[in-house]
Chains A and B, each alone.
Chain A
């Protein structure tokens, strides 16, 4: 069996949309089994941008990488299967439902919308997330929401080490257990954990849950139908590394 899959896409510099989708009553469906990454994304763009379809279903994505990246329009997408690395990155608007799992760096740098993953996710899920919801019903790998700057990451299962590493804004809800170094070097934002904590990272401290937190947790878990694990604990930045006001006097003069 000859493998025709080339993740780099170098083998097809002049790829065109294959135009194989069945469009019916404003909804489109296509089978990605025999398509390359470039062809899948070109077909997706054709449907969303050129045909103005707002509901697209992709069958048999086969864990290919970089699928549904950079879609900047409000639409619904259903991906029936699993994605490889860098799935649904750089999106602004779509609501994407993935019935399988995703590899590393899913929903990276997402601006708005929803990415709902029914099974597991790899490391770096929601890296540099700016807005929207990333929901993983299964487990996630290490460094979820590294450099997150907004939005919410919701994990139904367990999370790996360094979860919320350098978190700057936004919130994470982990219903299961988390690995070592939780919230290491976080600047701001909040991490809610339902299970056991292996260890806290540098300058990450526990805070008290407020009624606003309870309302937020109940609302977010309610939207996605995730059963709350019992009590949550909240972790925030200890602000010991906040040295923003300690500029040298000369520099300060220059800046002000």
Chain B
């Protein structure tokens, strides 16, 4: 089933960490397997990278902690080697880290080099985007990663009921459009031509870390934008090129978009006001962040909408 949510502030910033937590927690019944957040803080000079070095549900042997430590040092060592000036490494969980650094080169060689460290996956990389995802419900993930008070302009989130792949961090949404900075996607649905698109994108040199069909949407859109299309045009093309049922949300450094498939098979409720736009699989999620009475509507089939902050 899965639940997706998005929020964008049109006039400045908000506590998007707490807002997204409330939105996702109110849709807990749509997906208890994992929860994920893509949050956009104020963009800065530094790059922010979120990585995981192991999975929370993997078997822990005697050398587990020691190995993680070694791998963490290896990440730091490799960053220095490729020419990044590390600002700070923070550990949110023993297996999940937030790294900020100064770097002016290409992102792909850096991300590839870091992911080459055993067990490592780069969850997000950009000047503003941070992806936080883990097993269990939104409130516990938010607490464990201290997301309350995260100030920013826009965010998307996802609660997952796994249907297509494993229950682990790699299978959790949102997906970063590896290696394009600051682009992420959450998706509710199933893609039926996933394997074709995965092979096509792999031939173009892209890497996929999970068996989850949603992972290709982010890369598909980012590749089109890199080829010179606008976000909206890329999304419109996806309506014809991606098969299956889907409602997906996509975020870039300054916009939030939504697309619905031609069968309108997956729900989405939309609330728009002068200050913010909020959208979610269920209206209860929107009401969790807006205190007053609201009017909402459902976008129709084949609708593509984009808002800028």
Contact = CB atoms under 8 A, between A and B. Distances in A.
Interface of A: 1-3, 5-8, 62-65, 81-82, 84-85, 100-101, 103-104, 119-120, 122-123, 138-139, 141-143, 160-161, 179-180
Contacts of B282: 63, 65, 84-85, 103
Nearest to A141: B298
B139 interface: yes
B89 interface: no
B297 A161 contact: no
B117 interface: no
15 contacts: A1-B22, A3-B22, A65-B282, A65-B284, A100-B295, A101-B283, A119-B295, A120-B297, A122-B269, A122-B298, A123-B264, A138-B297, A142-B263, A142-B264, A161-B263
A84 B298 CA distance: 12
Interface string B74-104: 0000000000000000000000000000000
B28 A3 contact: yes
Interface string B287-300: 11000010111101
B267 interface: yes
Given A3-B22, A101-B297, 14 more contacts: A1-B22, A62-B287, A63-B286, A63-B287, A84-B282, A85-B282, A100-B295, A120-B295, A122-B267, A123-B264, A142-B263, A143-B264, A161-B264, A179-B300
A64 B300 contact: no
Interface of B: 22, 25-26, 28-29, 139, 262-264, 267, 269, 282-284, 286-288, 293, 295-298, 300-301
B211 to A, nearest CB: 28
Contacts of A179: 300-301
A104 to B, nearest CB: 6
A84 B288 CA distance: 13
A82 B283 CA distance: 9
A209 to B, nearest CB: 27
A6 to B, nearest CB: 7
Contacts of A5: 26, 284
Given A62-B287, A85-B282, A179-B300, A8 B22 contact: no
Contacts of B262: 161
Given A3-B26, A101-B295, A161-B301, A63 B284 contact: yes
B107 to A, nearest CB: 37
A179 B264 CA distance: 11
Given A5-B26, A7-B29, A103 B300 contact: no
Contact of B298 (A1, A8, A120): A120
A64 B297 contact: no
Contacts of B284: 5, 7, 62-65, 84
Nearest to A159: B300
A3 B27 CA distance: 10
B29 A160 contact: no
Contact of A8 (B29, B288, B296): B29
Nearest to B32: A8
A214 to B, nearest CB: 30
